[in-house]
Amino acid sequence: MAGTARTRWPWISLLLSAALVCNPVGFDFLHSAFFAGEQLARNIAQPIVLTALAIMALVIGLEWLVRSLIARSRARGATR
Domain chopping of the chain, boundaries = 11-76
pTM, to two decimals: 0.78
pLDDT the model gives residue 72: 84
Distance in angstroms (rounded) separating the CA atoms of residues 29 and 27: 5
Query: Which residues in the chain show pLDDT less than 70?
Result: 1-5, 78-80
pLDDT the model gives residue 80: 57
What would the 3-class secondary structure string for 41-64 be? Answer: HHHHHHHHHHHHHHHHHHHHHHHH
pLDDT the model gives residue 48: 93
